[in-house]
Amino acid sequence: MVKAGKPLPEQALEFVPSNHILVVLGASGGIGQPLSLLLKACPEVDELSLYDVVGTPGVAADLSHISSVAKITGYLPPDDGLKKALTGADIVVIPAGIPRKPGMTRDDLFKINAGIVRDLVTGIAETCPKAFILVISNPVNSTVPIAAEVMKKAGKFDPKRLFGVTTLDVVRAETFVQEHTGEKDPSKTVIPVIGGHSGETIVPLFSLAKPAVKIPTDKLAPLVKRVQFGGDEVVEAKGGAGSATLSMAYAGYRFAEKLIRATKGEKGIVEPTYVYLPGVTGGDAIAKETGVDYFSVPVELGPSGAEKANNILPEINDDEKKLLEACKTGLKGNIEKGVDFVHNPP
Ligand code: NAD
Ligand code: LMR
């Protein structure tokens, strides 16, 4: 039972041992709330712990009335709230931080979000270093390297357990290509999207669609651009009220739910995600080919997390190779900026 606006009861800390304690950091936000709703409704989630700098008692109280399995608790910063929220966590999802307004790039968010992610991941390193960490906060191209460097500094980094959530790009590619597939359910078309998560660093590979898709030549470049800049579409439409939240909650849930199933032993679960390549089986070859250490590729998920990075680069066509070149240049700078932030704080 959760009481709105009051400190949560101490027994909230006594987690029953389980493999499915999920934590959402930034749980009161535009993404955090619908994502928490989806996780609360997921039968695989035993406990759901919500943390934010505002609003979590209310969000937790509201969600606690839903008659699903997950036991729900909410925490604020006072009285070691972050530590309490993270205690016993198996999976931590991070949508904390400010979103874009029209005219901004994701990199413009770095100034504020870099510090937020660093501090939250420091809490993870201290309290639940073995948890799987799913980073949603932008700029993902930089916040994931920040998370990795924080974990490395603490001597707790396991690259198989750190994921940049790029699923929204995959979801957009599936949705936007539908007009060329005739498929009633867009999620039935598998489109790998690789690279990073901003503009030209997003590389959708329509040539590798399964089942194959025939896209008229004059329609391909606009389709690729729409996936790369899909976030801008939502930012513009919201007119200053933020960026994608509902589609992101869906995408974040989709990735988290696949990871839960994979950790339970289900085989054959593959999803593109932004990982530290040198730490994942198969990643070295991709790092060598791209010249970057962080990159999104289809990753086989399993009980230990990112079990294998699938190198699909040899299969891409000449147009996609050109996209990849622009991607690499953008990514390099974003990654260096994240790494540098941890070692030479401003
Ligand atoms: P929002 O402003 O609605 O919510 C963010 C929440 O984070 C707020 O509730 C805020 O109180 C909380 N917060 C701020 N500092 C915090 C801290 N130190 N600890 C805990 N919580 C804190 O924003 P949103 O629309 O939910 O977006 C959140 C982030 O997700 C943004 O950076 C956005 O760019 C990013 N995003 C990423 C993707 C993706 O594909 N990876 C997609 C959409 C949005
Ligand atoms: C998105 O792709 O929708 C998110 O990264 C949010 C944004 O800033 O566009």
Ligand 1 mutation target, pool 25, 38, 50, 53, most atoms within 8 A of CB: 53
Which of 95, 81, 185, 193 has the alpha carbon at shortest distance from 136? 95
pLDDT in tens, 204-243: 999 999 999 999 999 999 999 999 999 999 999 999 999 9
The gap between the terminal CA atoms of the chain, to the nearest Å, is 43
pLDDT in tens, 136-168: 999 999 999 999 999 999 999 999 999 999 999
Residues flanking ligand 1, CB < 6 Å: 25-26, 28-32, 51-54, 95-100, 109, 113, 116, 120, 136-138, 140, 165, 168, 197, 242-245, 248
Q: Which residue lies with its CA nearest to atom 8 of ligand 2?
A: 100
Ligand number nearest to the C-alpha of 101? 2
Local confidence band at 15 (pLDDT 50, 70, 90 cut-offs): very low
Task: Provide the ipTM.
Answer: 0.99
Nearest-angstrom CA–CA distance, 173 and 187: 10
How many Cα atoms sit within 13 Å of 77 on the Cβ side?
A: 6
pLDDT in tens, 311-343: 999 999 999 999 999 999 999 999 999 999 999
pLDDT in tens, 32-63: 999 999 999 999 999 999 999 999 999 999 99
pLDDT score for 189: 96
